[in-house]
Homo-oligomer: A and B are copies of this chain.
Amino acid sequence: MKKQLSLKEIKSCPVEYVLNINDTLNVISGKWKLPIIGSVLFGKKRFTDIQRNISKITPRMLSKELKELELNGVLIRTVYETTPVSVEYELSQSGKLITEVLDKMIEWGVEHRKSVLKKS
């Protein structure tokens, strides 16, 4: 098994640095992951709720991405044995915390745009 490195060790090793960022990047990149996270950000949602929320997503993509997000521990999937079954998706504890990363991205983006506009 791979040794767990400390934050300090990761940030000081270029290879680990890139690998660890990629791990996080994989959780949020692709066309639909972010909209899905956005959709469940304010509480539990069902499959069709999310689908209605993100009008252009196909069920194939939604199903695929939900599975991946669940596998990655970002979403929690709960099945209720009603008829027909209902399934609810919600953010896990660390799924909720990813907003800290997202907010940082927005902040950088806004500042970056300012500095690009200034120069042109």
- Give me the interface of A with B, judged by CB distance under 8 Å: 4, 7, 10-11, 14, 17-18, 20-25, 27-29, 34-35, 38, 41, 73, 92-94, 97-98, 100-113, 115-116, 119
Chain B residues near A103 (CB-CB < 8 A): 11
What residue of chain B has the Cβ atom nearest to residue A119's Cβ? B73
Pair A7/B107 contact, Cβ less than 8 Å: yes
> What 13 additional pairs, Cβ within 8 angstroms, besides A17-B106, A94-B112, A101-B104?
A7-B106, A10-B110, A18-B35, A18-B38, A21-B28, A25-B28, A25-B34, A25-B105, A29-B29, A94-B111, A94-B116, A98-B112, A101-B108
Copies in the complex: 2
Chain B residues near A111 (CB-CB < 8 A): 94, 97
Pair B108/A100 contact, Cβ less than 8 Å: yes
Pair A38/B14 contact, Cβ less than 8 Å: yes
Pair A108/B97 contact, Cβ less than 8 Å: yes
Pair A115/B73 contact, Cβ less than 8 Å: yes
